Amino acid sequence: MKKIVLTILLLSTIYHLHAKELVFKNLSRSSDEIKQLRTDIRDTIFTVKSNRDETQIPDLKFYKYKLQRGDNFWNVIARTTLNIDTLMTVNQLENPSDIDVGSTIFIPNMRGVVHRVNRGETINDIAIKYKVNPRYITYVNKMDSLSKEFVFIPCGDLTKDERSLFLSSGFRKPLDKIQVTSGYGRRIDPFLKVPTFHSGVDFRCSVGTSVRASRNGTVTFSGVNSNYGKLIIIKHSSGYESYYGHLSKFLVKEGQTVRAGQVIAKSGNTGRSTGPHLHFEIRQNGSVLNPLSQIRGL
């Protein structure tokens, strides 16, 4: 429910939500609505890729759909002719298994990605990043200047890194043996005994266990934090970071480049900890993600 509310708020910043809600009852290829959707998608691709006049692009629409028996991420793509990047960014999904029967999603009538505008960023900056002519971006989003927090990039694509992370092939396990003792999300704080949000996952391990870099990157922090204790932060491509907390010994320094699988520290029990373990987080552009949905092989 929380993700649906966030998605609605995101979409409302891109375009004016229709007074009459647009809803798909099913995704049958024989329905007139799905036929029109596929036509809109095809026309948008043809217009953008052929550098045609932007007025040939249909108005951007988002249809609400509740997954039915037999539905999943992949057959939604197949029936609509959307792609991974579109369904992922529009619905703020972390991996394909985020949606299942009963999930409510939004389906746009064109391929593309949702982009969050960064401070100081211009329409031309965004156009260069996604290799899409800026006039298509301004036309689809009905704007003359960059005044929105989120914009839809018609026919925009994610990077290979972003897509591989979505498909859970971008991060490796930080420990050779994984046993989760406390998951990501709401939990009872072990010290305060009240509900709090746990921004990562805790893995059981004895003091002195080898901790490995979960992905290639650069160490941006190797020091002590009051909550995390001895902490290492590694910066990765595409705005991703990984956090390794409650360590006992550092084996890398700030500014050092590391490879996925490289031993970077020894686990411990430092900081705000109830016992030996590794606290592990993954963030993108400052926002926490569920590490268990990003690590391959779990």
pLDDT on residue 16 = 55
pLDDT on residue 87 = 96
Instruction: Enter the pTM of the model.
Output: 0.66
Strands (E), 89-216: 104-108, 112-116, 150-154, 180-182, 185-188, 195-198, 201-204, 210-212
Q: Maximum CA pair distance of the chain?
A: 63
pLDDT on residue 7 = 57
Residues in the chain, overall count? 298
pLDDT on residue 2 = 45
pLDDT on residue 11 = 62
Fold (CATH) for 180-293: Glucose Permease (Domain IIA) (2.70.70)
- What is the Cα 275 distance to its own chain's centre? 31
pLDDT on residue 4 = 52
pLDDT on residue 24 = 95
Q: Where are the domains of the chain?
A: 2-158, 180-293
pLDDT by 10-residue block (mean), the chain, 298 residues: 52 56 92 97 97 96 94 96 96 84 94 91 95 96 85 94 75 93 89 89 97 95 96 92 98 95 96 95 92 80
pLDDT on residue 202 = 96
Q: Is 27 helix (H, G, I), strand (E, B) or coil?
A: coil
**Nearest Cα residue to 265 out of 282, 281, 253:** 253
**Dist CA 283 CA 77 (whole Å):** 27
